[in-house]
Structure 1
Amino acid sequence: MTRFRVSDLAIGIFCGPVLCCWIALASCCCPSRLRRRHTHSEDRRRFERRQYMAPRPLPVRPPERALTIPPPKRFVSSASPPSRDTEKIDVITDVSGKGGRRGRTLDQTRSHLMRLPLELRQMIYRAVLGDSTMHMVLKENKLGHLRCRAPSAIECPLGFNGRTLSRECCWGTVDSANIWMSMTGDAAENTDGGIVGMLRSCRQVYSEAIDYLYSTNCFSFSDLDCLRYFSSTILPQRFALIRTLDIEWCLTWPIYDPIAQSLLLTTPALYPPHDEATWEETWRIVAEMPNLRFIRVSLLHFDGFRDARCEGKMLAPLRKVTRPVRFEVHVSWEGAEVRDAPFTLIRPPMGERDSEDDEW
């Protein structure tokens, strides 16, 4: 019995320092993630729920949609002289040469709006639909957009709910899978920015006004998947009109850092959208946006990057975004200056990082 106790004591003396060193190393690298290995199933459940709730991409469609008035060469009307109440039928010829009925366009000469010059109508469309910040949110099997209540996205309060970034003052909160939840608890609450009614009122109004929705608004994203889904659920020609982006993203764990990821003791170490593949795909989409002129990115990470090379790999996909005239990247950690990049990297002033961490 004495020998057994002596051997146990010897094993404890030998293994104790090794265990203490592992705990100390994990504490230095991830003070808030020591129990991450026990949350593997929770991360997987969140990922699976996000996949189940993901919006479906657009199917293969004809080049013209029912709400858009076709070009004049494809516009066919009755042989009788049109009157104010004449109904005009739009016919579009498909690949097989057969015509199909796509929609109806009624004569709008009685409308006071349509009697105005086109220039005045365009000013009205922009005042109603544009010059705002639209917060894009993930919903159950679809996306929503809410008009920001602040003058700009920079002035809109940004918070951290323990899992991700949120703007509760504007669009409520999110659940554990970052699916939007209204402040009233009503999942069916409208998230259309208050603009769908006007666009659906008339085909001519839709055709004249729809471009202002995408070209004059700033689209704000706090989830990388939300941006990816947005690019695949609207028509490519609409997505190409976007000129201004605002992206906020919380890096929950160092990407491109195999040593840090090995501490998680899970396979895979990171689930989408927090993995490297989602990060690179997001910036590939942004880099291909032809009319993008201004983009502001805010990246939050509590621990920063232990290795400057890992930060360089993280910033490498952003270097492919060369079209914007103004490209700002705000990060919450300190580090060296980044040179020869198409973006301006803005770090917190020295000594200010601790106060920011306390606030989050």
Structure 2
Amino acid sequence: MTKLPLEIRRMIYEKALGGASIKVTDIKGALFSSRCRLFEQLDGPAHVLLDLALPLLRTCRQIYSEAIEYLYKANYFLFTTDAYKQPTLEYLPYYFLPQRLTQIRSVHFFWKMDSHHYYLMTHGLDPQMDEWLKSWDALSKLTGLQHLHITLSYTYWSEACKVLWEEHGARLLEPIKMITAPRDFVITLPGRSCSTDMDVGESKCIFRLPSGDDGDGNAAPV
């Protein structure tokens, strides 16, 4: 294979190691990856093992050095805070080398704001910001991102959540301003009543309102 022109080899690497939607979840301190089909069952156990041509990376040192970047830049990574109630995003720097993080191009993050890990704006409490800010800081390290979609949701979008979002939503989304790399940056807000008129600084972020079955953003991601 090394006798083929480099451009041909790159085409092979992208085809063999890319083109998948990969769900990434932390389970009891270990990173687990699975293949997602049309984003289904993102809040449940991993259901399809990856079928990428990973043995290709063990062929020889030259092929590894040429091909490894395609595992990161040619796939679509999905994260969710709901599955297993474990953090994932903010711990990526512990699992991946910095240069691998910068090779990731596409991310979709399904952010359950009332999951055990974040527990934001529930029961009348002010947002607990430490873990929330850690996740945004981790996102800011993905400097190669071109596509970033974030879906914010609650288990149940109640009238109390609406009131609390009106009071705290702008502060919660202040970290958007440090995410300046993605040219395609979309945040789906947790309820249709949310305002999309917020300052995003130099970020290219745009806001969308949900289109869930109940009309308030409570439907599971599909």
Range class of TM-score, shorter chain? 0.7 to 0.9
Which one of 116, 120, 124 corresponds to residue 255 of structure 1?
120
TM superposition score normalised by structure 1: 0.51
Give the alignment of 1:176-195 within 5 angstroms.
193-195=51-53
Cα displacement (A) at 1:357: 4.2
Unaligned runs of 5+ in 2: none
**What is the rounded CA distance, in whole Å, between the counterparts of 1:122 and 1:321 in structure 2?**
29
SS in 2 for 1:147: strand
Letter in 1 for 2:199: D
2:136 touches 2:175 (CA, 8 Å); kept in 1? yes
Q: Does residue 141 of structure 2 align to residue 277 of structure 1?
A: no
Letter in 2 for 1:157: E
Q: Does residue 3 of structure 2 align to residue 145 of structure 1?
A: no
Per-residue deviation, residues 320-343 of structure 1 (Å, max 9, x unmatched):
212210110112312223233231
Per-residue deviation, residues 194-222 of structure 1 (Å, max 9, x unmatched):
44322123222111100111112111101
Q: Does residue 128 of structure 2 align to residue 245 of structure 1?
A: no
**What is the rounded CA distance, in whole Å, between the counterparts of 2:20 and 2:133 in structure 1?**
28
Aligned length: 205
1:130 touches 1:213 (CA, 8 Å); kept in 2? yes
**What is the rounded CA distance, in whole Å, between the counterparts of 2:184 and 2:18 in structure 1?**
20
Change (3 A) 1:309 1:125: same
SS in 2 for 1:332: coil
Per-residue deviation, residues 245-294 of structure 1 (Å, max 9, x unmatched):
1100111176367x7128xxxxxxx9xxxx42111111112123221111
**What is the rounded CA distance, in whole Å, between the counterparts of 1:135 and 1:350 in structure 2?**
21
**What is the rounded CA distance, in whole Å, between the counterparts of 2:15 and 2:219 in structure 1?**
40
SS in 1 for 2:88: helix
2:18 touches 2:52 (CA, 8 Å); kept in 1? no
Q: Does residue 203 of structure 2 align to residue 345 of structure 1?
A: no
Give the alignment of 1:211-222 within 5 angstroms.
211-222=69-80
- Shifted more, 200-209 versus 118-127: the winner is 200-209
**What is the rounded CA distance, in whole Å, between the counterparts of 2:68 and 2:89 in structure 1?**
20
Which one of 167, 171, 177 corresponds to residue 313 of structure 1?
171
Which one of 43, 47, 55 corresponds to residue 166 of structure 1?
43
Unaligned runs of 5+ in 1: 1-112, 151-155, 159-164, 173-182, 184-190, 263-269
Structure showing greater Rg: 1
TM superposition score normalised by structure 2: 0.79
Change (3 A) 1:309 1:210: same
